[in-house]
Amino acid sequence: MILNQITIPCVDYSASVAFYEALGMVRIVEAPPRYARFESADGSGATLSLHTVSASVGSGTVIYFDHPSAGALDAHVEDLKAQGLVFDSEPADESWGWREARLRDPAGNEVCLMFAGEARRFPDWRVDGRTG
């Protein structure tokens, strides 16, 4: 089984589209003001779609975008801040081995920009004990 896509709610279609394009997602489907679909610019095939709802949700969902290095994460955060995006937390090394920065999209969904390296799939506490 391969994860195909994740669909998240949005309230302001244009603002949400602009937000995810600023993060680097590439719009591949659009049906304004109801639906847009993006794919990751890295060619992995992962997709994310927006579906317009009538009210802000703040559902507890967190969307994670992994970066190839801690330096790439930090540079991306600085670029986004220069574009006017506001972060809830600056890049920081977390106790679980990931470097994370967090912000919210226009609908209130939490977005985590991260770098985990091998720890993304193979943390020390992985259930099956595999290390990579």
Work out the number of other CB atoms within 10 angstroms of the CB of residue 67: 22
Residues 84-105: tens digit of each pLDDT:
999 999 999 998 889 999 999 9
**pTM of the predicted model as reported, rounded to 2 decimal places:** 0.82
Amino acid letter, 68: P
Angstrom distance (rounded) from CA 90 to CA 101: 5
Going along the chain from its start, the domains and CATH numbers come out as: 5-120 (3.10.180.10)
Work out the number of other CB atoms within 10 angstroms of the CB of residue 43: 8
- Average pLDDT of the segment spanning 79-84: 97
| H or E stretch covering 51 | strand 47-52
Amino acid 131: pLDDT = 82
- Which of 3-7, 63-67, 72-76, 124-128 tops mean pLDDT? 72-76
For residue 92, give both structure tokens. Answer: 């920081």
Amino acid 2: pLDDT = 66
DSSP state of 119: G
- Average pLDDT of the segment spanning 7-15: 93
Q: What are phi and psi of 117, to 5 degrees?
A: 55, -140
Amino acid 57: pLDDT = 61
Amino acid 129: pLDDT = 82
Angstrom distance (rounded) from CA 90 to CA 98: 13
Residue 29, helix vs strand vs coil: strand
Q: What are phi and psi of 77, to 5 degrees?
A: -60, -45
